[in-house]
């Protein structure tokens, strides 16, 4: 044998060994896609969301009770939050080339609708979104493959109305981000606020990514109102609207939707934000405390937006697999609602091992998780919201609704 | 009193923002118009040259801030501006050496230059995003306001307030100074006269012994300086984001063409025409009219604010259809 052929042989043996190793590894791994907008308008909160989802998967792996000793492997992909084509391509990669069993995500409503319609539902892959809140997602043709641990904005509109009426606010101007999320949210808020006897002086969109919002604020100021309701994104046009409103003295009080919650807003606006009220999905109780402990221990900020929902979304996927006894895509769909709702033993965040054991023994569980998960209608969270107010340069929780 | 309130509302939401935006557009359009007048092509890379110079200024500003150097009440960026200008000038001269000089020697048609400048635009755009990233950057420090809403209300006793942000005041002062300096240079200095001669009739200028390389170089130096100044003022007043600067290209070209391309005075007039058209057509006049004794039922808004960019387009189309030479009888594109 010449030197060249022996080298070739050695290379192919090594290659075959590698291949065999990867096949063995795959047999014990179940991949779960984590598709969130790691770039784009939500990039400041998505690392916390992704980290929380992976925290749940790690907890399942650490228990050693999952299926027949398989491990869950998260595979991240970028939804970009705004670019439906890029998000669809990323989801396509997860499903066809990474062969994920289910997808936790996506985050923003527009891309979530695109992924569900174009990739997940046609391929029969379960999606559990932690943060897509558009009312439109309630009615999509999903063959029951779409779930969300975040409530619909139809509910958020009612909660925000309750907050404002309890503060004796009767007339507001509304500025929403010009996309599926903003449009759906503002429609549901305006309907709820007017039904409660309030007046909406103007309901105008703003586009994200512009340098200057003085024209938008000019129109809002002309319409007037007790305060300005901003339903946008914290790293995008929302903060631009608030800054322009503060600079021109158009409004000195604001009410914010869930996309506007973030430390970067307080950093950017400073003391002019005092007295601002807002709502954000969030729960109180033992589950959220346990989640907060676990997240803090893992180096995550549990009060960041949608961290608990992300944890719950990933946990539900894992528990549904355990209930079904396999990582089959359709079996996950059929088992998900059974583990999410009663009857059965309530399982809080941090107790996934207990839940896995009960399911392994053939019992029933009622997953409560970090956010009091109760899936209603076509598989979406009923929704608890935290009402906050900005005081002395920090978010302060007023109560839960 | 009501009349004064109406005036104040109008000034706060229309006149002052329009004035600042117009000055920023005018400085940008001056650069475009100079390049067109002397090098005879529409430089599509101008918006990204603005972004490049502004990016350098921001980086130097951050460095100065980290060293503890500030200008007190004025933004530190003013101190960093000269370095940003130098960098942008160097970049413009390098681009001319690497790209445009070749086509000049080939005596290529104007459209070839325009296409080459589109290529330069994409490359510069990429360079800026690579270095500073695609996100919004804010680099204004120092005092934020010259006149605050609350201060104005207390001082005048009016119901309505007026805010004048410091960056707006700086924009106006710098724009006036720069424009005066530019016109003195073009009208009185030897090089300025040579540039005007070259722009007017290239062959005759060459026959009179004007050095074309020198004219081209000075043109790029002035254009890059104006671009950086306009970019930094825009960034201080509003915010810096590479994509926004790319988008500024449209109103800047609209301004240059409305005023008459190749005419420096036209660029300034055009800048204000475009800026005030955008602001006045999208403003809701309800509150102003209420103070004037009317009771409008709606918001009295001619166009929704999403159509702001469309206004530049419409102006551009109207001017090209009705008066292609622009207000000051510039060249025809």
3-state secondary structure chain B: CHHHHHHHHHHHHHHHHHHHHHHHHHHHHHHHHHHHHHHCCCCCCHHHHHHHHHHHHHHHHHHHHHCCCCECCECCHHHHHHHHHHHHHHHHHHHHHHHHHHHHHCCCCHHHHHHHHHHHHHHHHHHHHHHHCCCCECCCCCCCEEECHHHHHHHHCCCCCCCEEHHHHHHHHHHHHHHHHHHHHHHHCHHHHHHHHHHHCHHHHHHCCCCHHHHHHHHHHHHHHHHHHHHHHHHHHCCECHHHHHHHHHHHHHHHHHHCCCCHHHHHHHHHHHHHHHHHHHCECHHHHHHCCCCCCCCCECCCHHHHHHHHHHHHHHHHHHCCCCCCCCCCC
Higher pLDDT, B100 or B2: B100
Residue B241 has its nearest CB partner, among A202, A207, A211, at: A211
pLDDT per residue as tens digits for the range B57-75: 999 999 999 999 888 889 9
Q: What φ, ψ does residue B279 adopt, rounded to 5°?
A: -75, -45
* Domain of residue B287, residue span: 2-322
Residue B333, pLDDT score: 58
Nearest Cα residue to A365 out of A347, A350, A391: A347
Q: Which B residues 266-325 touch A at CB under 8 Å?
A: 278-279, 282-288, 299-301, 304-306, 308
Check if the beta carbon of residue A219 is closer than 8 Å to that of residue A162: no
E-assigned strand segments in A187-288: 199-206, 227-231, 254-256, 277-281
The three-state DSSP-derived secondary structure of A283-339 is CCCHHHHHHHHHHHHCCCCCCCCCHHHHHHHHHHHHHHHHHHCCCCHHHHHHHHHHH
Confidence band, pLDDT 50/70/90 cuts, at residue B145: confident
Of B135, B234, B283, the CB nearest to A218: B283
Consecutive H or E run containing A154: helix A153-166
Distance of residue A34 Cα from the nearest chain B Cα, in angstroms:
24
Tell me the three state secondary structure of residue A360: helix
pLDDT at position B32 is 95
Cβ atoms < 10 Å from Cβ of A116: 25
Which chain A residues in 221-260 lie under 8 Å from chain B, judged by CB atoms?
221-224, 235, 240, 247-250
Task: Kindly list the residues from chain A whose CB atom is less than 8 angstroms away from the CB atom of residue B282.
Answer: 215, 218-219
Question: A215, B283: Cβ pair inside 8 Å?
Answer: yes
**A270 touching chain B per CB within 8 A:** no
Chain B residues with beta carbon closer than 8 angstroms to that of A250:
13
Chain A environment of B163 (Cβ under 8 Å): 247-249
Is B149 at the interface with chain A, CB within 8 A? yes
For the cut 80, the answer to whether the pLDDT of residue B78 exceeds it is yes
How far apart (Å, rounded) are the C-alpha atoms in residues A301 and A280? 15
- Residue B85 pLDDT greater than 60, yes or no: yes
Task: Provide the angle, in degrees to the nearest 10, between the axes of the packed helices A214-223 and B16-39.
Answer: 150
| Mode of pairing for the β-strands spanning B164-165 and A126-129 | unpaired
Q: Which of B9, B13, B21, B158 to mutate to test the interface with A (most CBs of A within 10 A)?
A: B13
CA atoms of A57 and A36, how far apart (whole Å): 16
CA distance B259 to chain A (A): 24
- A171-177 and A199-206 strand pairing: parallel
Q: Do A215 and B165 touch (CB under 8 A)?
A: no
Q: Does A204 touch chain B (CB under 8 A)?
A: yes
Mutate to test the interface with A, among B17, B24, B234 (most CBs of A within 10 A): B17
Round the average pLDDT of chain B to a whole number and report it.
91
Find the radius of gyration of the CA atoms of chain A.
23
CA geometry: angle at A166 spanning A162 and A171, to 5°? 80
Residues of A in contact with B234 (CB under 8 A): 211
Question: Is B167 within the bounds of a domain?
Answer: yes
Q: Has residue B315 been placed in a domain?
A: yes
Distance from the Cα of B89 to chain A's closest Cα (Å) equals 25
Q: Coil, helix or strand for A188?
A: helix
- B14: which chain A residues are within 8 Å (Cβ-Cβ)? 218
DSSP code of residue A270: G
Domain contains B154: yes
Most confident segment among A272-286, B30-44, B152-166: B30-44
What is the domain-level CATH number for residue B18? 1.10.3470
Residue in B closest to A247 by C-alpha: B163
Q: What is the pLDDT of residue A285?
A: 76
- Rounded Cα distance, B322 and A353, in Å: 76
Domain-embedded: residue B142? yes
Nearest to A218 among B138, B148, B284 (CB): B284
Are the C-beta atoms of A371 and A287 separated by less than 8 Å? yes
Does a structural domain hold residue B331? no
The enclosing H or E element of A171 equals: strand A171-177
**CATH classification of A29-152+285-381, choosing from 3.40.50.620, 3.40.50.10860, 3.40.50.2300, 3.40.50.10470?**
3.40.50.2300
A219 lies within 8 A of chain B by CB: yes
Cβ of residue A272 closer than 8 Å to a chain B Cβ = no
Q: List the structure tokens of A99.
A: 């062969």
Domain membership flag for residue B287:
yes
Residue with tokens 């604001």: A254
Question: Structure tokens of A304?
Answer: 């960041």
Dihedrals φ, ψ of A103, to 5°?
Answer: -120, 130
Give the C-alpha separation, A113 to A119, whole Å.
10
pLDDT per residue of chain A (401 residues) written in tens, 0 to 9? 455 555 555 555 555 544 444 444 444 889 999 999 998 878 888 999 999 999 999 999 999 899 888 899 999 999 998 899 999 999 999 999 999 999 998 899 999 999 999 999 999 999 999 999 888 888 888 889 999 998 888 888 989 999 999 999 999 999 999 888 898 899 999 999 999 999 999 999 998 888 788 888 988 988 888 999 999 988 888 999 999 999 888 898 999 998 888 888 888 888 888 889 999 877 777 888 889 999 999 999 888 888 999 999 999 999 999 999 888 999 999 899 889 987 888 999 989 999 999 999 988 999 988 888 888 878 888 878 889 999 888 888 888 88
Structure tokens at A136: 């439109």
Is A214 within 8 Å of B299 when comparing Cβ atoms? Answer: no
Chain A residues close to B287, C-beta within 8 Å: 221-222, 224
Give dist(CA A323, CA A321) in Å, integer. Answer: 5
Write the pLDDT tens digit of every residue in B196-207.
Answer: 999 988 889 999
Tell me if B20 is assigned to some domain. Answer: yes
Tokens of B331: 């060249």
Judge: A202–B299 Cβ closer than 8 Å, yes or no.
yes
Domain boundaries, chain A: 29-152+285-381, 154-283+385-400
Looking at CA atoms only, how far is residue A250 from chain B in angstroms? 9
Close Cβ partners of B106 (under 8 Å, ≥ 6 residues apart)? none
**Rounded to a whole number, what is the distance in Å from the CA of A239 to chain B's nearest CA?**
11
**pTM attached to this predicted model:** 0.76
Q: How far apart are CA A310 and CA A302, in angstroms?
A: 11
**Is B225 inside any structural domain?**
yes
From CA A119, how far away is CA A103, in angstroms rounded?
A: 11
Which architecture, in CATH terms, is A154-283+385-400?
A: 3-Layer(aba) Sandwich (3.40)
Residue B269 pLDDT more than 60? yes
pLDDT of residue A25: 46
A222–B283: do the CB atoms touch at under 8 Å? yes
Phi, psi of A167 (to 5 degrees): -95, 15
Structure tokens of B302? 């001619």
Share of chain B above pLDDT 70, in %: 99
Q: B143 Cβ partners below 8 Å, 6+ apart?
A: B73, B74, B166
The number of folded domains in chain B is 1
**Residue A205 near chain B (CB below 8 Å):** yes
For residue B238, give how far its alpha carbon lies from the nearest alpha carbon of chain A (Å).
Answer: 6
**CB within 8 Å: B234 and A215:** no
Contact B165 A222 (CB under 8 A): no
Note whether A285 contacts B: Cβ–Cβ < 8 A: no
Predicted pLDDT of residue A287: 86
Q: Identify the CA nearest to A153 among candidates A117, A180, A127, A116.
A: A180
Task: Determine, for residues A210 and B244 on separate chains, whether the beta-carbon distance falls below 8 Å.
Answer: yes
- Is the distance from CB of A312 to CB of A371 less than 8 angstroms? yes
d(CA B180, CA B284): 35
């Amino acid at each position: 044998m010449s030197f060249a052929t022996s080298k070739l042989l050695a290379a192919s043996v090594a290659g075959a060994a590698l291949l065999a190793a990867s096949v063995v590894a795959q047999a014990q791994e179940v991949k779960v896609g984590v598709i969130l907008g790691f770039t784009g308008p939500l990039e400041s909160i998505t690392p916390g969301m992704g980290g929380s989802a992976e925290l749940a998967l790690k907890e399942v792996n650490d228990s050693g009770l999952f299926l027949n000793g398989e491990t869950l492997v998260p595979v991240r992909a970028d939804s970009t939050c705004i670019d439906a084509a890029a998000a669809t391509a990323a989801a396509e990669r997860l499903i066809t080339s990474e062969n994920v069993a289910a997808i936790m995500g996506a985050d923003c409503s527009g891309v979530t609708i695109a992924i569900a319609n174009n990739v997940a539902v046609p391929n029969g892959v379960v999606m559990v979104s932690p943060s897509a809140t558009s009312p439109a997602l309630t009615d999509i043709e999903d063959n029951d493959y779409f779930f969300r641990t975040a409530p619909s904005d139809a509910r958020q509109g009612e909660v925000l109305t309750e907050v404002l009426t309890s503060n004796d606010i009767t007339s507001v101007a509304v500025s929403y981000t010009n996309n599926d999320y903003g449009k759906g949210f503002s429609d549901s808020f305006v309907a709820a606020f007017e039904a409660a006897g309030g007046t909406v002086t103007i309901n105008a969109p703003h586009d994200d990514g512009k340098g200057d919002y003085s024209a938008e604020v000019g129109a809002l100021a002309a319409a007037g109102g007790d305060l300005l309701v901003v339903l946008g994104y914290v790293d995008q046009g929302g903060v631009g609207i608030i800054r322009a409103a503060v600079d021109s003295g158009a409004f000195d009080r604001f009410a914010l939707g869930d996309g506007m919650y973030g430390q970067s807003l307080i950093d950017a606006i400073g003391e002019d934000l005092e007295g601002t009220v807002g709502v954000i999905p969030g729960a109180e109780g033992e589950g959220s405390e346990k989640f907060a402990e676990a997240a803090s221990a893992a180096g995550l900020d549990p009060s960041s937006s949608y961290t608990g929902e992300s944890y719950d979304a990933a946990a539900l996927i894992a528990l549904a697999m355990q209930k079904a006894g396999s990582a089959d895509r359709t079996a996950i769909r059929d088992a998900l609602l059974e583990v999410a709702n009663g009857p059965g033993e309530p399982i809080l965040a941090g107790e996934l091992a207990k839940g896995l054991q009960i399911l392994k023994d053939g019992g029933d569980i009622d997953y409560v998780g970090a956010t009091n998960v109760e899936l209603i209608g076509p598989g979406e969270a009923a929704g608890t919201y935290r009402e906050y107010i900005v005081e002395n340069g920090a978010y302060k929780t007023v109560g839960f609704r | 009193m009501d009349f004064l309130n109406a005036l104040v509302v109008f000034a706060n939401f229309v006149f002052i923002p329009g004035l600042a935006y117009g000055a920023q557009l005018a400085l940008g359009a001056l650069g475009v118009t100079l390049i067109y007048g002397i090098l005879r092509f529409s430089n599509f890379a101008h918006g990204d040259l603005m972004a490049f110079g502004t990016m350098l200024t921001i980086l130097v500003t951050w460095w100065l801030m980290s060293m503890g150097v500030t200008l007190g009440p004025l933004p530190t960026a003013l101190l960093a501006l000269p370095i940003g200008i130098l960098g942008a000038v160097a970049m413009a001269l390098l681009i001319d050496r690497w790209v445009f000089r070749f086509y000049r020697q080939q005596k290529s048609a104007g459209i070839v230059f325009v296409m080459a400048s589109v290529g330069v635009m994409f490359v510069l755009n990429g360079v800026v995003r690579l270095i500073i990233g695609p996100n919004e950057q804010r680099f204004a420090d120092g005092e934020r306001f010259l006149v605050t809403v609350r201060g104005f209300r207390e001082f005048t006793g009016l119901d309505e307030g007026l805010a004048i942000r410091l960056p707006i005041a700086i924009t106006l002062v710098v724009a006036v100074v720069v424009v005066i300096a530019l016109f003195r240079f073009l009208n009185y200095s030897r090089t300025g006269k040579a540039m005007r001669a070259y722009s007017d009739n290239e062959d005759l200028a060459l026959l009179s012994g004007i050095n074309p390389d020198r004219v081209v170089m000075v043109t790029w130096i002035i254009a890059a300086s104006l671009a950086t100044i306009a970019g930094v003022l825009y960034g201080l007043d509003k915010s810096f984001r590479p994509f926004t600067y790319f988008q500024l290209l449209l109103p800047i070209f609209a301004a240059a063409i409305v005023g008459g391309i190749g005419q420096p005075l036209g660029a300034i007039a055009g800048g204000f025409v475009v800026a005030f058209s955008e602001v006045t057509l999208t403003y809701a006049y309800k509150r102003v009219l209420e103070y004037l004794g009317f009771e409008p039922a709606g918001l009295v808004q001619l166009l929704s604010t999403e159509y702001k960019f469309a206004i530049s387009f419409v102006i551009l189309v109207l001017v090209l259809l009705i008066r292609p030479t622009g207000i000051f009888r510039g060249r025809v594109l």
